[in-house]
């Protein structure tokens, strides 16, 4: 196995952290499950989340000044949130925020209650293909559950994305 096949095989095999990205523009809140995300700078601290162009969250995030990233843990509640934000889409008229508990975070962006999170201004948007990289400066957050095991893509099992890429 070589080249692109090797890449696909390895990319599928590795377990990546699962996060939920939320954002807001005026009265519209939006959020989705994201598997493509990583810290991408130490100094200054920066985090990159890849949002698919087909998602409503991407459309909102294009205009949004602030994103919040929730790092999910291996708990029943976080798995339920992963399912809600990964399988449902605002494009079908689903209001995900009516189906979970949340508080107002930075810039009135929803912070999912009980989750670990960080968030801050979007400092760059990078065209990387069918996803766009949103680079944020993580200036606020809460790491109360940082000692709990995290939820990776390998732990999630089959989920059907609300908008297949
Ligand atoms: C395991 C898994 C990983 C996903 N990874 C991403 C991702 O990295 N970026 C993204 O934009 N969407 C990703 N999605 C898809 C969105 O979470 C999904 O299509 C969601 O329903 C979009 O909702 P929205 O249209 O309301 O934004 C993933 C879905 C699943 C199930």
Q: Which two tokens stand for residue 54?
A: 């087909």
Q: Which residues line ligand 1 (CB under 6 A)?
A: 30, 32-36, 50-52, 55-57, 85-91, 131, 153, 156, 159, 161-163
Per-residue HEC secondary structure of 94-154 comes to CCHHHCCCEEECHHHCEEECCCEEEEEEEEEEEECCCEEEEEECCCEEECCCCCCCECEHH
Task: Provide the pLDDT for residue 1.
Answer: 76
85 CA to middle of ligand 1, Å? 7
Task: Provide the pLDDT for residue 165.
Answer: 79
Separation of alpha carbons 165 and 162, rounded Å: 9
Task: Provide the pLDDT for residue 57.
Answer: 98
| HSE-CB for 18 with a 13 A CA cutoff | 26
Task: Provide the pLDDT for residue 33.
Answer: 98
Task: Provide the pLDDT for residue 15.
Answer: 94
pLDDT tens sequence for the chain (165 residues):
788 999 999 999 999 999 999 999 999 999 999 999 999 999 999 999 999 999 999 999 999 999 999 999 999 999 999 999 999 999 999 999 999 999 999 999 999 999 999 999 999 999 999 999 999 999 999 999 999 999 999 998 889 999 987
């Amino acid at each position: 196995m070589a080249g692109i096949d090797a890449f696909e095989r390895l990319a599928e095999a590795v377990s990546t952290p699962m996060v939920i990205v939320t954002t807001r523009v005026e009265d519209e809140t939006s959020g989705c499950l994201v598997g493509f995300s990583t810290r991408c700078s130490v100094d200054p601290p920066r985090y990159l989340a890849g949002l698919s162009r087909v998602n409503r969250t991407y459309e909102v995030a294009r205009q949004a000044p602030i994103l919040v990233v929730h790092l999910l843990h291996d708990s029943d509640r976080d798995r339920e949130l992963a399912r809600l934000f990964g399988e449902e889409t605002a494009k079908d008229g689903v209001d995900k925020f009516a189906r979970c508990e949340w508080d107002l975070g930075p810039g009135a962006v929803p912070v999912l209650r009980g989750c670990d999170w960080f968030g801050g201004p979007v400092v760059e948007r990078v065209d990387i293909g069918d996803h766009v990289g949103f680079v944020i400066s993580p200036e606020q957050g809460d790491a109360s559950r940082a000692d709990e095991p995290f939820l990776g893509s390998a732990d999630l099992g089959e989920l059907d994305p609300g908008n297949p890429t």
